[in-house]
Structure formats: structure tokens, C-alpha cells
């Protein structure tokens, strides 16, 4: 186990800058998720930490060692790839013991370590099989097993669940988290799925266009997103953004919709703002803002509805069973304590 320290890391492909100087400090044993949309540079960053991609500038330290220019094999890390990257010509046991075999470890020791990792992941009965004889979830587990057997200083995961179906993804999410709690190895996990990041990570790094938008604990990012990008990216369904200004102590849109504000924000008057409210922070009320339902989706546990309130679209997530149908008029209430205000020009939180 070790800390990981990333200092002013940059990556250029020719004249194209992909990563513009990133700093991240990862504590020993921490589970950090790198999230962001496609092309934000998260996989490139992970591959630079792994040593699979050259670093253009800056430094990466694993523990006290500077590893920026060391080959991958000398970094003492283990990586789980999106497509698992299991060696097709080796059995599960050989796949898992490959790294130890390269280190010329004693065969008995290799067997013990492989057995132990197989025990953790429930792979004992599959050790003699080949990767092609396994299901997606089993392959994923073997890939994790290969990482565990190494007992590395850092685990790297590159979108490991994106090839699995939805149900298996939830299950494997739990298994990775349990494995981390049990083994406690420092973990860096790349995903584009913010739900994965929210549920698994101790700390989330939100990346966008090669820049860090925000670093923080999952709930911190959810409760206090520092800008419009993070606010829109974290949380599912996504936050509502409504343009307008503060006038006479209330938030007023161009189309004349009036929304409630918390105390003490009136000072932000006079400039264009974005009013953010999460769908789950909107309640049905007997008297309140009225809107016509333009979309209603019920899942049993909740109802997702889109309302048209004076021309502004507001998405709502109701936990209670409401009898709402397409075209109905619904009254809603917004908790002023849970709204977010952003400067429209800079995108920053007020």
C-alpha cells in the first residue's frame, strides 16, 4: 500500500494538449474515482500512472518513489482493464499467477497465493478453466484476482464494469467495494458512470477537457458542486438548470416564473444566474409552482416527471405514489435550502 501523488501532470499528443497540469493527492488505502465524460482525459491519466503512456510534464510519485519515467513493470501496480485482458492461452490459475511466475516465485507460494485470491473472489472451482469458458462476470473476477495475487501498492481500474449488463454491474460494484474494504490497497478507479463513482469512492475527481473541475467526497460533490459542470454531471437524474436573475428577493426567469431562494443571496442580484435544483429535491404540494406534465415515467419506487412551468422545463423525482398523467397540472414546492446558484458567465457556484 502507498500514497499516490500527482503533481502538475501534463500530456500532449503532438500539438494537442490532452491533460493540462493536474494535481491529485491520494492517501494510503484511499479509493479514488476519476470521473468525466468521454474524452476528458481520465483514462489517459490512469494510463500515465500505470506507465503505459509517456508523461509530457510533471511528476507521479507512488509512496516516496518518483515513477514518472519508470517502465510499467517497475511501478508495483496492478491494473484491471475494461476488456479484462486475460491471457487467452492460459488457465485462470496461470493468469492469476503470471506476475509471480515472472518474478520467479516458488511454485508452491504461487499456488497458495492464487488459492487465497480465488477464495476471496469465489473462483476456486474455475482455476483450471480457460478465459473463453467463463462468463463476463467471472472474467471480471479473474482480472481482479490477477491484481490481488500481485499484492501491489496500487490498484488501477479502467472502466472495469462497462462490458457487463446492468444487474451484474451492480453486483460487481459491491464486490469491488468489499474487496477494497477487505484488502485496503490504494485504488484508482476510472469510470464515466457517476453512480459507480458515488457508491464506491472515498474521493471523486471530476475531470473535464483535461482539467480538474472538482475534487471531493461523493456527498460534498453532490451537496456543494463548485460549478455548473459538476452540478450537471453528478447526480442522476441530472440537476435542473434554469436561467434568470434575482429581482426583489426572488429568482425570476425571463418567461416570468418565480422560484424560491434561501436567505441572504439577494446580494447576487443584477447579473445573469443559473438556478439549479435536483429533481429529487422537488416535492409535490397542494399550493406552489404549477406545471403541466409533459412526461411521466413510473418505476414503482418513484415517479420521474417533466413539467412545463411557464415555458421552463423542470424535471421532478417524486418518491410518493402520485396519480399524475400526461397533461395533468401538478403543483410543486422547492426547498430553498437545497437549491444551487451559479454565475451564468463563469459557471461558478455563488
**Residue ranges in contact with another protein by CB under 8 A:** 50-52, 71-73, 75, 77-79, 81-89, 98-99, 102-103, 131-132, 139, 146, 150, 163
| Nearer residue to another protein within complex by CB, 89 or 125 | 89
CB of 120 to another protein, least distance (A): 19
CB of 76 to another protein, least distance (A): 9
| Nearer residue to another protein within complex by CB, 144 or 231 | 144
| Nearer residue to another protein within complex by CB, 98 or 304 | 98
| Nearer residue to another protein within complex by CB, 132 or 287 | 132
CB of 90 to another protein, least distance (A): 8
| Nearer residue to another protein within complex by CB, 42 or 281 | 42
CB of 108 to another protein, least distance (A): 19
CB of 85 to another protein, least distance (A): 4
| Nearer residue to another protein within complex by CB, 162 or 294 | 162
Other Cβ atoms closer than 10 A to 177 = 17
CB of 89 to another protein, least distance (A): 4
Amino acid at each position: 500500500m502507498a500514497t499516490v501523488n500527482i503533481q502538475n501532470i501534463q500530456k500532449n499528443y503532438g500539438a494537442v494538449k490532452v491533460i493540462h497540469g493536474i494535481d491529485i493527492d491520494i492517501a494510503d488505502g484511499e479509493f479514488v474515482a476519476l470521473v468525466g465524460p468521454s474524452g476528458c482525459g481520465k483514462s489517459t491519466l490512469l494510463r500515465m500512472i500505470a506507465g503505459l503512456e509517456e508523461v509530457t510534464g510533471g511528476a507521479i510519485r507512488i509512496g516516496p518513489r518518483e515513477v514518472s519515467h519508470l517502465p510499467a513493470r517497475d511501478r508495483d501496480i496492478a491494473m484491471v482493464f475494461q476488456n479484462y485482458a486475460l491471457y487467452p492461452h492460459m488457465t485462470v490459475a496461470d493468469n492469476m499467477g503470471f506476475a509471480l511466475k515472472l518474478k520467479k516465485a516458488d511454485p508452491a507460494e504461487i499456488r497458495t497465493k492464487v488459492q487465497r485470491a480465488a477464495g476471496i473472489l469465489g473462483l476456486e472451482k474455475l482455476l483450471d478453466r480457460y478465459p473463453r469458458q467463463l462468463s463476463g462476470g467471472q472474467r471480471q473476477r479473474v482480472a481482479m484476482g490477477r491484481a490481488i495475487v500481485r499484492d501491489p501498492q496500487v490498484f488501477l481500474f479502467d472502466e472495469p464494469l462497462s462490458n457487463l449488463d446492468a444487474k451484474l454491474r451492480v453486483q460487481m460494484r459491491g464486490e469491488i467495494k468489499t474487496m477494497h474494504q477487505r484488502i485496503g490497497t490504494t485504488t484508482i478507479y476510472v469510470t464515466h458512470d457517476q453512480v459507480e463513482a458515488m457508491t464506491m469512492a472515498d474521493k471523486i475527481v471530476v475531470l473535464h477537457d483535461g482539467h480538474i473541475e472538482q475534487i471531493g467526497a461523493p456527498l460534498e460533490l453532490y451537496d456543494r458542486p463548485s460549478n455548473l459542470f459538476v452540478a450537471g454531471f453528478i447526480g442522476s437524474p441530472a440537476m435542473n438548470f434554469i436561467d434568470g436573475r434575482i429581482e426583489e428577493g426572488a429568482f425570476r426567469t425571463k418567461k416570468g416564473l418565480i422560484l424560491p431562494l434561501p436567505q441572504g443571496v439577494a446580494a447576487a442580484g443584477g447579473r445573469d444566474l443559473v438556478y439549479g435544483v435536483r429533481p429529487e429535491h422537488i416535492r409535490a404540494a397542494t399550493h406552489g409552482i404549477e406545471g403541466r406534465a409533459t412526461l411521466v415515467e413510473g418505476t414503482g419506487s418513484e415517479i420521474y416527471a417533466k413539467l412545463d412551468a411557464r415555458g421552463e422545463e423542470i424535471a421532478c423525482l417524486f418518491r410518493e405514489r402520485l396519480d399524475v398523467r400526461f397533461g395533468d397540472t401538478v403543483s410543486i414546492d422547492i426547498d430553498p435550502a437545497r437549491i444551487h446558484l451559479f454565475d451564468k458567465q463563469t459557471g461558478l457556484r455563488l
